[in-house]
Structure 1
Amino acid sequence: MTDINVRRINFGYFIRPASETGTGVPRVEPCLGYLVEHPDGLLLVDTGMGGDPDVDAHYRPHRIALPDALAVAGAQPDDIRHVVNCHLHFDHSGGNPSLPGRPIYTQRLELDIARTVEDHTLPWLIDSPGAVYVELDGEAEILPGVTIVPTPGHTVGHQSLVVRRGDGTVIVAGQSHDHAVGFTGDVLARRAEQDGAQEPLPFAPAWMERLLSFDPARVVFAHDNAVWTP
């Protein structure tokens, strides 16, 4: 599967306020998507930041529009054939309305919450004209060599994308972890438990076992430019 490439797409950045960072100071975070160049057509993981006056006042985003972000990778919106949102918050689904008619793969639970829970996301990003959802109930291989794996935590319907290549598996983990260091921490927590380390130990999500079973060579994230490697 060496012909399946995964390329980072830069949708800009936002400024997470001090009340959300746990450090007492604001933090500037990238907003990243990933373009999967598959023989069955281009697949885009996450589509950038939507917004409204309240969102813009709170996060002060610097947006790169979907066409401009894709152009850096030599693509345009009309080239996209498949969409995967790791979850449906505004900073991951902002470009969905610009991609009508494309199948948007999401966990059924995530879509239900986005439609019914106030403040989960911006409603007009969800059921925009031409939106076509493929609702999943768990793990699914959506294209040859491309598998969606549920990774709940940040939201209960969060999912990650596994891309199997001949030279190593790439996992697009989205916001399963805010940063690569968090992924490292969970890998080591699992290892410490397997090694019989004495309690107390940190808790690693049960789905970490499934992600690591793909023997990833690289794991990439939605809000961190760092890349995890084993």
Structure 2
Amino acid sequence: MIVRDAAVRRLDLGYFVRPAVEVGGPDPRIEPAYGYLVRRPEGLLLFDTGIGTVDPGTEAHYRPSRRPLATALDAAGVELDDITLVVNCHLHFDHCGGNPALAGRPIVVQRTELAVARGPGHTIPELVDFPGARYEELDGEAEIWPGVRIIPTPGHTAGHQSLVLRQSDGTVILAGQARDFASQYGSDELALRASRDGVPEPLPSVPGWLPRLVDLDPARVLFAHDGAVWEPRF
């Protein structure tokens, strides 16, 4: 996807198998792992870095197939050393797995997320505190580059965050795993619209962060585990 002020390129970083017990149905589900390369005048920003090495139990549980970050970047004409800034939507192993390959680069993360990730049971410790790890911790919203804003979107994790890119042809939101699917975001957006239109209750509940994203009037919303792109209906 190309926009006038920047190029936003989706990176295929592999996939994993989500077991049926987590899907809530009779069958497992194959989920892609996407990162996004963002070209800006300030440099190259990488949003999520792929599936990291995990312990044998997690490996057997999710059966991941990894595409190395360097390979994905090479397909985009970029090398690891070209990356200026890393943003992780959160620090689960399937989103921060390539971070150690980018040691020394600043990694933008919510303070809440980093604190939880350093505790037990959240992620793989070696993917968080590796040699050369350099974090820029945020407490809420922040403009990290001109026209590039971080917005907290908690739910999947307490410190989940999304990236907002203000472009001349419309706002692009990299929503990570704020929602698993574009269709879920679309349902939420429609429920919020119904509420604002005064449709009587009962109505579906929506995430607390949704009004903030909707009020940015996004032209496109992209996700970490879904290749579909949400766009407004008109």
The answer to whether the superposition gives a TM-score over 0.5 is yes
Return the offset for 1:194.
1.1
- Indicate the residue corresponding to 2:40 in structure 1: 38
Q: Distance in 1 between matches of 2:115 and 2:227?
A: 30
Task: Give runs of aligned pairs for residues 34-73 of structure 1, distance below 5 A.
Answer: 34-52=36-54, 53-73=56-76
Q: Distance in 1 between matches of 2:216 and 2:178?
A: 16
Q: Distance in 2 between matches of 1:190 and 1:228?
A: 15
Residue 115 in structure 1 maps to residue 118 in structure 2: yes
What whole-Å deviation, never above 9, does each CA across 1:33-53 have from its counterpart, x for those lacking one? 000001111000000001222
Please give the secondary structure, in 2, of the residue aligned with 1:184: helix
Q: Distance in 1 between matches of 2:58 and 2:75?
A: 26
Please give the secondary structure, in 1, of the residue aligned with 2:30: strand
Q: Which stretches of structure 1, 4 residues or more, deviate above 6 A after TM superposition?
A: none
- Indicate the residue corresponding to 1:188 in structure 2: 190
The one-letter code matched in structure 2 to 1:183 is: Y
The one-letter code matched in structure 2 to 1:228 is: W
Task: Give runs of aligned pairs for residues 43-192 of structure 1, distance below 5 A.
Answer: 43-52=45-54, 53-116=56-119, 118-192=120-194
Q: Distance in 2 between matches of 1:34 and 1:55?
A: 25
The one-letter code matched in structure 1 to 2:173 is: I
Q: Percent identity?
A: 62
Q: Distance in 1 between matches of 2:190 and 2:217?
A: 15
Q: Distance in 1 between matches of 2:106 and 2:99?
A: 10
The one-letter code matched in structure 1 to 2:60 is: A
Return the offset for 1:20.
0.4
Q: Distance in 1 between matches of 2:113 and 2:165?
A: 22
The one-letter code matched in structure 2 to 1:190 is: L
What whole-Å deviation, never above 9, does each CA across 1:167-218 have from its counterpart, x for those lacking one? 1111000000000011001101101111222221111112111111221110
The one-letter code matched in structure 1 to 2:24 is: G
Q: Distance in 2 between matches of 1:158 and 1:149?
A: 9
Q: Distance in 2 between matches of 1:119 and 1:70?
A: 30
The one-letter code matched in structure 1 to 2:214 is: L
Please give the secondary structure, in 2, of the residue aligned with 1:200: coil
Please give the secondary structure, in 2, of the residue aligned with 1:33: strand
The alignment's C-alpha RMSD in Å is: 1.0
Normalising by structure 2, report the TM-score: 0.96
- Indicate the residue corresponding to 1:211 in structure 2: 213
What whole-Å deviation, never above 9, does each CA across 1:11-59 have from its counterpart, x for those lacking one? 0110100000012210001000000001111000000001222221111
The one-letter code matched in structure 2 to 1:206 is: G
Count of matched residue pairs:
229
Q: Distance in 1 between matches of 2:58 and 2:6?
A: 35
Please give the secondary structure, in 1, of the residue aligned with 2:190: helix
Unaligned runs of 5+ in 1: none
Unaligned runs of 5+ in 2: none
What whole-Å deviation, never above 9, does each CA across 1:100-133 have from its counterpart, x for those lacking one? 11110000000000002x1200000001000000
Q: Distance in 2 between matches of 1:69 and 1:49?
A: 12
2:14 corresponds to which of 8, 12, 15: 12
The one-letter code matched in structure 2 to 1:31 is: A
